Structure 1
Amino acid sequence: MTTRWIQPLTLLLVGLLYWQLVSRFSGAKEPWDANGYWRIWYPGSLVLSALAGFVLQRRSWLAGVIVTFAQLPVMWVNTGFGGLLMVGATILCILTVPAVAVSMIGGRFARSRAGGGKADGAV
Structure 2
Amino acid sequence: MAAIAGIYDFFTRGLRTKSRDWTIDHDYDNHQSRFAPKFQELFMPFIVTCVVSLFFWTGVSAITGAEEPWDLASYWTIIYPAALALSVILGAVLRSSQWSAGGVVMLSQIPVVLAISGASPLLGVGIIYAALLSIPAIALSWLAGKLRSGKKGRWTSTKK
Distance, in Å, in 2 between the alignment partners of 1:25 and 1:60 is: 29
TM-score (ref. length: structure 1): 0.89
Higher RCO (Cα < 8 Å, 6 or more apart): 1
Distance, in Å, in 2 between the alignment partners of 1:33 and 1:21 is: 16
TM-score (ref. length: structure 2): 0.69
Match of 1:42 in 2: 80
Q: CA deviation at 1:33?
A: 2.1
Distance, in Å, in 2 between the alignment partners of 1:40 and 1:119 is: 31
Distance, in Å, in 1 between the alignment partners of 2:74 and 2:140 is: 20
Give the direction of change, closer, same or farther, for the CA distance of 1:58–1:121 in structure 2 (3 Å limit). Answer: farther
SS in 1 for 2:120: coil
| Gap runs ≥5 in structure 2 | 1-38
Distance, in Å, in 1 between the alignment partners of 2:56 and 2:102 is: 14
SS in 2 for 1:81: coil
SS in 2 for 1:10: helix
Give the direction of change, closer, same or farther, for the CA distance of 1:22–1:35 in structure 2 (3 Å limit). Answer: farther
Match of 1:118 in 2: 152
Distance, in Å, in 2 between the alignment partners of 1:33 and 1:24 is: 14
How much identity, in percent, do the aligned residues show? 35
Higher-Rg structure is 2
Q: CA deviation at 1:121?
A: 4.5
1:18 and 2:18 equivalent?
no
Q: Number of matched residues?
A: 118
SS in 2 for 1:83: coil
4+ residue segments displaced more than 2 Å: 118-122
| Amino acid corresponding to residue 123 of structure 2 in structure 1 | L
Give the root-mean-square deviation of aligned CA atoms: 1.6
1:79 and 2:117 equivalent?
yes
Q: Which moved more, 1:97-106 or 1:26-35?
A: 26-35
Higher strand proportion (structure 1 or 2): 2
Could you tell me whether the CA contact under 8 Å between 1:23 and 1:34 is conserved in 2?
A: no
